[in-house]
A and B are shown apart, each in its own frame.
Chain A
Amino acid sequence: MLRKLLTLAAAAFALPAWAEVALPVTYLKLEVPRPPVLSNLDPVPDDLGEAGAQLGLADNQTTGKFLGHDYSLTVTRVPEGGDWLAAARAALAESPFLILDAPAQAQLELADLPEAEGAVLFNATAADAALRDESCRANLLHSLPSEAMRADALMQFLVKRRWTDLVMIAGDHPGDKAFAEAMRRSITKFGLTLKAEKTWVFDADMRRNASQEVPLFTQDFGDYDMLLVADELGDFGRYIAFNTWQARPVAGSEGLKPVAWSWVVEQWGAAQMQNRFEELAGRDMRSEDYAAWAAIRSLGEAVTRTQSADAATLRAYILSDDFELAGFKGRKMSFRNWNGQLRQPIPLVTPRAVVAKAPLEGFLHQRTELDTLGIDQGETKCTAFQE
């Protein structure tokens, strides 16, 4: 009804359309030093995440110009050792809409600021399951899929292929351990078997001797169907494939990877977004870019449909059944209203192709098949969204 009225209004006034609405968003990044890795082949882009937000802004602005809606984006980088919370307060004083590019702990500290009450914060970079579960915050939404969602996507594929016997090598960085734990949980959830696991402890330079070390390291795994690798930093994983004792495929952080996004996604209209991103950033679009894009587009979609820039109005709409985001992954995306996670398909990719897209056919759910990925409503420990 509202839309009908608005359409009518638009018809009457033609181009200079509807009420002026301005949506300023801050992209707030905490610069964190990355631990060294064995290979320098893949530098992390300096504008990772941020470039996705810029693309989302451009998309919003194009829509906004037909509706009289104004979108803007401020990027604030807090250097290592800088005052994160002071920067957060300054940003919140300008706008309640923030996209956060920071580790989980920093995001929680920000979300708990008195100034952040009623804000709409998007986590675009932290995959930690706890952020969506026992540590969830009502003002913190998540556009990046959790480790649990990615692990479930991979395990669905293994169930489908009947590759049931698994072994795992995990690094000992916190992110590696968390992803390993997510895969263990998911292995249990889908009735697969983890026959053995090892922790990556080598400190030698693997570019020189992976071919000698990895066969021995994997020899006592015995027989299995697939080797899982938890190496979220991209440290040792690249040296595992083709060096294993058994001729077996590799998946997880290497080989077949469950991701939010990859340059190999081209179906479902994705080719056009990849082109737009490439033109804007001069590089391929990655998962963090996608998550930042999805965050700012979610805000844009909510503004378009509600004609409002009020934080409470937008949050309510984003978490409602009416919200739908076309995310170039083959089906509409929406937010889980019990923990603020963006439900989304997870492509399973190699460096050169999409192998499958989860949820895979046959994994059913009473609400939406997308909720077969990650912690479900019945098992969540998140209570902050209940009021």
Chain B
Amino acid sequence: MKHALALAATLCAAPALADEIWVSNEKDDTLSVIDIETLEVVRTIEVGERPRGITFSKDYSVLYICASDSDAVQVMDPETGEILHDLPSGEDPEQFVLHPNNRHLYIANEDDAITTVVDTETREVIAQIDVGIEPEGMAVSPDGKIAITTSETTNMAHWIDTETRELFANTLVDSRPRHAEFIKGGSELWVSSEIGGTITVFDVATQAEKAKINFDVKGVHPDRVQPVGFEFSAEEATAFVALGPSNHVAAVNPETYEVEEYILVGRRVWHMEFNADRSLLFTTNGVSGDVTVIDVASREPVKTIKVGRFPWGAAFRP
């Protein structure tokens, strides 16, 4: 079956001219590929069990997929949709980040309280680092010197020195941290806390908390405003923050840390990805099983695209 699909995918996708958004469907064990020109799903590809985090190599030649319940990171040829091989990943890989060296994957092993570092060339585990319970959010600083793992139940950001592959700091955040990103040339780290309902902003040089971003969606109880994934528009002018079961995305000013606007999207919005010039934003909406396309300039949702069950991660491919 998988081969048939892969074959079909090859036939259809041969001239891959248009840019694409790839979406992992956690409860369908598939990826949906959205054509950015037509805003339609053009391919559906079977993968391992419970795919969540997905990311392309820097040259887009391979796609890495956290197949959580298969306990593997799968490596796919995006042209053919064929799984080339699995990487050893540790148990239950949920989310990962590719180091700027395009070689080392930092993987959060959700069931094991471990961050695993895998060399994608030798396909070997080069380090395992003890972190808090249910590691999830992963980030690497632009200079590649610091990796971050956030742990959902321990409620911390763990700071990993990528040279020694050891923790050099552990900073508390609010409950259930989900996602982390470096911005402003790596001088700031943002960490979202789903249950706490906040984003904590750290000064990277000192690992000290420098700001906290709060959200208030009109007509939605604060308990249901649960920040998860977030991404920055061109030149980091705006941070877009998925607010989970509040079914809204917040547009945040990264200078003032104030929310400028809330945009209504599908149900339980989780992660997101931009197109090439960052004029369009694609959000994965887990419960409604679709992707909302937001026009970044007007901050209006322009289309809803049906994908598989429980879309989780999203990745851009030119």
Q: Return the contact of B223 from the options A14, A67, A332 (Cβ within 8 A).
A: A332
Q: 1/0 per residue A331-346: CB within 8 Å of B?
A: 1100000000000000
Q: 1/0 per residue A48-62: CB within 8 Å of B?
A: 000000000001001
A1-34, CB < 8 A from B: 3-4, 6-8, 10-11, 14-15, 17
Known: A8-B208, A272-B110, A368-B223. A66 touches B196 (CB 8 A): no
Q: Is the CB of A59 within 8 A of B155?
A: no
In the complex, which of the residues B195, B197, B221 has the most CB atoms of chain A within 10 Å of its own CB atom? B195
Known: A3-B172, A332-B196. A63 touches B223 (CB 8 A): no
Q: 1/0 per residue B147-162: CB within 8 Å of A?
A: 0000011111010000
**B residues within 8 A CB of A304?**
155, 172
Q: Is the CB of A7 within 8 A of B132?
A: no
Interface of A is mostly: helix
Q: Is the CB of A14 within 8 A of B132?
A: no
Docked CA distance A11–B196 (Å): 23
Q: Is the CB of B176 within 8 A of A7?
A: no
Q: B174 within 8 Å of A by Cβ?
A: yes
Q: Is the CB of A11 within 8 A of B207?
A: yes
Q: B183 within 8 Å of A by Cβ?
A: no
Q: Is the CB of B221 within 8 A of A368?
A: yes
Q: A275 within 8 Å of B by Cβ?
A: yes
Q: Return B109 CB to nearest CB of chain A, in Å.
A: 11
B186-234, CB < 8 A from A: 194-197, 206-209, 221, 223-224
**B residues within 8 A CB of A305?**
172
Determine the residue in chain A with the shortest Cβ distance to B174.
A324
Stretch at the interface among B70-78, B163-171, B272-280: B163-171
Q: A326 within 8 Å of B by Cβ?
A: yes
Determine the residue in chain A with the shortest Cβ distance to B225.
A331
Q: Is the CB of B209 within 8 A of A3?
A: yes
Q: 1/0 per residue B73-100: CB within 8 Å of A?
A: 0000000000000000000100000000
A263-292, CB < 8 A from B: 269, 272-273, 275-276
Q: Return the contact of A269 from the options B113, B176, B223 (Cβ within 8 A).
A: B176
Q: Is the CB of B170 within 8 A of A66?
A: yes
Q: 1/0 per residue B88-120: CB within 8 Å of A?
A: 000010000000000000000011010000000
Docked CA distance A370–B223 (Å): 10
**B residues within 8 A CB of A79?**
none
Q: B134 within 8 Å of A by Cβ?
A: yes
A366-384, CB < 8 A from B: 368-370
- Nearest first, the 3 closest Cβ-Cβ pairs linking A and B are A331-B223, A66-B170, A326-B195
Q: A7-B209, A63-B132, A325-B175 are in contact. List 16 more A-B contacts (CB 8 A).
A: A3-B172, A3-B209, A7-B171, A10-B207, A14-B168, A59-B154, A63-B153, A63-B155, A63-B156, A269-B134, A269-B152, A276-B133, A324-B175, A324-B196, A326-B175, A326-B194
Residue contacts A-B, CB under 8 angstroms, 16 given: A7-B172, A10-B207, A11-B171, A14-B169, A15-B170, A62-B153, A63-B133, A63-B154, A66-B154, A272-B92, A272-B110, A326-B176, A331-B224, A332-B197, A332-B223, A370-B223
